[in-house]
Amino acid sequence: MDRKTGIDLGTSHLRVCVKGRGLVYDEPTAAAFNTDGELTDHGGRAYRMLGKDPPGRDVVRPLSGGVISNFEDCVELLSAVMTKTGVRGILSRPKTAISVPYGITEVECNAFENVCVAASGGHDVFMLIKQPMAAAIGCGVDVLGTRGRLICDIGGGNIQTSVILYKGIVAAGMARVGGDQLDEAIVRYVKDSYNVAIGRRTAENIKIQIGSAHRLTEHGDLAVSGRNLLTGQVVRALLRSSEIREAMAPVLETLTDQIKSVLEKIPPQLSADVYESGMTLCGGTANLPGIDLMLQEKLGMTVKVTESPELAVIRGTEKILGAAGELLEVVSAGEDYQ
Residues 306, 134: Cα–Cα separation, whole Å: 14
The set of residues, in sequence order, having a beta carbon less than 8 Å from that of 9 and lying 6+ positions away, is: 29, 63, 68, 74, 78, 98, 99, 112, 115
Note the CATH number of domain 2-133+314-331.
3.30.420.40
Residues 112, 214: Cα–Cα separation, whole Å: 36
**Domain 139-177+252-309 shares a fold with domain 179-248:** no
pLDDT digits (tens, 9 = 90+) for 26-85: 999 999 999 999 999 999 999 999 988 889 999 999 999 999 999 999 999 999 999 998
Domain boundaries, the chain: 2-133+314-331, 139-177+252-309, 179-248
Residues 309, 275: Cα–Cα separation, whole Å: 21
Buried/exposed 158-169: b ≥16 CB within 10 Å, e otherwise: bbbbbbbbeeeb
The set of residues, in sequence order, having a beta carbon less than 8 Å from that of 40 and lying 6+ positions away, is: 32, 33, 34, 57
Superfamily grouping for domain 179-248: ATPase, substrate binding domain, subdomain 4 (3.90.640.10)
pLDDT digits (tens, 9 = 90+) for 129-166: 999 999 999 999 999 888 999 999 999 999 999 999 98
Element (H, E) at 252: helix 241-263
Domain 139-177+252-309 has CATH 3.30.420.40: yes
Region of 256 on the Ramachandran plot (φ > 0 left; ψ -120 to 50 alpha; else beta): alpha
The answer to pTM > 0.75 is yes
Question: What's the confidence (pLDDT) of residue 280?
Answer: 97
Specify whether the CB–CB gap between 243 and 189 falls below 8 A: yes
